[in-house]
Chains A and B, each alone.
Chain A
C-alpha cells in the first residue's frame, strides 16, 4: 500500500464518520477545545504550562544537557526520560507561541489518527453479538473526542496523545501480525511511547506471552516471542541509560525529580492510590517513605494484575487485557495520576467494551467508569481545591480505577459470563 492509497483510505473512512451527526459534533467539540486552549494560553497560561517545560527541555538538551533536570531551569520540574527532550528540539527552534499552536495542532491530528486506529482495532476484536454496522463504534469514538480530559491536555500542551498514539499503534500491530519481526516492531513502538512519557512503563511485563491453563494445570510460555518483545521495548528505554551512563548527573536528577525528591511528597489532587496514602500521611503527620509506598503499591497491585493475566480463562486478545491492566496499575500506583493521563486509558476501555459481549453484566463496572473518566473526573479536581485543607483525597477517580480493574479481572477469571439479559453470553 503506498502513501497515496493510505491517505485515500483514511479520508474515505473519515467521510463515512462525518455522515454521523454525533461525530460532526465531536469534531466541533475538539475544535472548541483547541481554540479555547489557545485563547487561555495567550491570556493566562503563557509560559505557565507543561509545554513550556518541554520547549525549554528541547533547548537545554542541545545546549546544556547536564542540567536537564536542574529545577532552576523550569517553572516546574522536567520529570521524563532524557531522550523525550529530543522530541522537542525541532519545536524549540520556533517562537514559543507558534510552537505551542503547532504542537496543539499536532495533538488535534493525533486525536483523529487515534480514532482511526481504535476503529480498526475494534473491528478486529469486536465480540460477535455486537451490532454489525459501525454506528455504535462511531458513537464511542465521538465520546472519546468529546472527552473532558482533552481540555487540560490542550491547555497544558501535554504529550499524552503521543503516548496514546504509540500505544494503540503497537496494540494494532500485535493484534494484526503474529510474525516475530512485527512483534519486534510493535514493542519498539511501545518503547518509544515510554521514552516520550513513562506512563506506559508498566505495560512491559504484560508483553510476556505466559499463560497458566487452569483446566489442564499447565504453564505455557512463548519464550521466543516474549524475548523478542522484551528486547524491542527495552531498546528505546535503555538508550536513555546510555545517556545516564555518559552523564551521571542526569541519573541523579531523574531519580530525585521522580522518586526520592520532595515532589512526590507534595500535596496534590492525583487520584492514584499511592498519592492518597502519601496525602493521608502528610495530613496526619505520619512518618513515611514515599519510595516504599510506591514500591509496595506497585508490588501488590502489579503482581495481582500480572497473576490475573497469567491465570486468565479468555485466550483471545490477551494483549488488550495486558495493556488495560498495565495502564490501570500505572494510574493506581504512580504518584501523579492526573485527569489528562486518562487519555491513555480511555481508548483501551472503549476497545474493551466492544470486546466484551454486548449485554455482559461486566459493563456495569466498565461503562460507568468510562463515563466518569471521560466527562466527570475533572469536576472532582475542582472540588479537591475546596476540600484539601481537611480532606486532600481525590478518591472518586481511584474508586472507578479499582472498579475497572475489578471488571477486567472478573472477565479474565470467571468461567462463564452472565449477560444482563439473563443466561450466559
Chain B
C-alpha cells in the first residue's frame, strides 16, 4: 500500500468514527420488562430484628406496604399476571402473597399494578421512589442499571451501578416525621439483570443488619462455579509447586553430575 492509499485509509477510518460520534447522540435506549408472565418470585427474610424495627419506625411499620407482616423466616411470593406496555409506560399486574411461613398459601392477598414510565428521564427531578418502608420497588424495567442511572432521584438515594445495579438509600433521623425513623438507617438493595430485587439489607449505625431479604432460589450456576473456582485454584497451586520441585531436582542432579565430571 503506497503512502497516499495509507493516508486515504486512515482518513476514512477517522471520518467514519467522527460520523458515528456525531450521530450516536440520537441513540436512545429502549426499556423493557424483565419479568415474565406466570413467573413466580419468592423472597426469603433471613434477618428481621422486630424489636429494633419497632424502635426505629414505630409499632405500625409492618401493618401495610411491601413489609406487611414481615418477620424472620417468612417468605413473600409474587406471581406475574400480565405485562402491559404502551408508548409512555410499562406496567406489571402481580398477585402477591404477603410474608408468611406457610407452604400452602391459598388465594393471594393482593392484586396490584406496578407501573413505570418507559423513559426514566420523564420522572421529575428529586424523585422519591417511595416514602414508606422499604423506600424502593421490588422490580425495575431493564436494563436496570441504565434505568436507575437515568432517574433523577432525591438526595435520599445514591445509585451505584458500576458493578451490580445497587441502590443505596440513606434515611436520616426524623425524615418521615419526628422520631420516625428514630435513628439514621442505610439500605443497600441489589437488583439482578432482570431488574428484580435480589438482595435487600437495612442497616442501622455501625452497619448492624436489621433486615435481610433475598430472592430465592439462587441461579443454578452459582454453586458449581464457586466450587470450580476454589478447586481449580488449589489444583493450580499444587501443580505449580510440584513442577517447581521437579525442576529443582533436575537442576540439582545436573549440578551433581557436573561436579562429579569436573572432579574426575
Contacts and interface: CB of A to CB of B under 8 A. Distances in A.
Interface of A: 38, 42, 46, 48, 71-72, 75-77, 95-98, 100-101, 261-263, 265-269, 281-282, 285, 287-290, 364, 368, 380, 383, 386-391, 395-396, 399, 420-422
A266 B208 contact: no
Given A76-B160, A383-B225, A389-B218, A287 B209 contact: yes
B244 A364 contact: yes
B164 interface: yes
A218 B238 CA distance: 43
Interface in B205-245: 206-209, 212, 218-219, 221-223, 225-226, 229-230, 233, 240, 244
B27 A267 contact: no
B198 A389 contact: yes
Contacts of B247: 420
B194 interface: no
Interface stretch (B14-22, B60-68, B78-86): B14-22
Given A76-B161, A386-B225, A391-B229, A421 B251 contact: yes
B255 A265 contact: no
Contacts of A267: 163-164, 166, 190
Given A46-B27, A266-B160, A75 B251 contact: no
A387 B186 CA distance: 25
Contacts of A97: 18, 20-22, 24-25
Contacts of A71: 158-159
A261 B186 CA distance: 10
Nearest to A265: B188
A266 B169 CA distance: 12
Contact of A262 (B160, B190, B240, B255): B160
B168 interface: yes
Contact of B162 (A268, A368, A390): A268
Interface stretch (B98-106, B114-122, B146-154): B146-154
A75 B47 CA distance: 31
A366 to B, nearest CB: 14
A422 B209 CA distance: 56
7 contacts: A75-B161, A98-B18, A266-B188, A285-B201, A386-B221, A422-B252, A422-B255
Contacts of A389: 198, 218-219, 222
B132 to A, nearest CB: 21
Contacts of A265: 168, 186, 188, 207
Contacts of A285: 46-47, 201, 209, 212
A52 B226 CA distance: 34
B223 A390 contact: yes
Interface in B181-214: 186, 188, 190, 198, 201, 206-209, 212
A420 B229 contact: no
B251 A46 contact: no
A98 B21 contact: yes
B222 A261 contact: no
B201 A95 contact: no
Q: Which of A386, A390, A420 has the most CB of B within 10 A?
A: A386
B32 interface: no
Contacts of B47: 285
Contact of A268 (B22, B164, B206, B240): B164
Interface of B: 17-18, 20-22, 24-25, 27, 46-47, 145-146, 149, 152-153, 155, 158-164, 166, 168, 170, 186, 188, 190, 198, 201, 206-209, 212, 218-219, 221-223, 225-226, 229-230, 233, 240, 244, 247, 251-252, 255
Nearest to B256: A422
A266 B18 contact: no
B161 to A, nearest CB: 6
A387 B17 contact: no
A391 B226 contact: yes
B218 A266 contact: no
A289 B206 contact: yes
Nearest to A100: B21
Given A75-B161, A285-B212, A391-B226, A262 B24 contact: no
Contact of B158 (A42, A262, A281): A262
A290 B188 CA distance: 14
A263 B160 contact: yes
Given A101-B17, A268-B163, A422-B255, A287 B208 contact: yes
A409 to B, nearest CB: 19
Contacts of B225: 383, 386-387
Nearest to A359: B251
B20 A42 contact: yes
Contact of B163 (A269, A288, A380, A421): A269
Contacts of B155: 72
A124 B164 CA distance: 45
Contacts of B186: 262, 265
A76 B146 contact: no
Contacts of A72: 152-153, 155
A262 B168 contact: yes
Contacts of B251: 420-422
Contacts of B24: 42, 46, 97
A270 to B, nearest CB: 9
B211 to A, nearest CB: 10
A425 B226 CA distance: 42
Contacts of A396: 233
A266 B229 contact: no
A197 to B, nearest CB: 15
A36 to B, nearest CB: 13
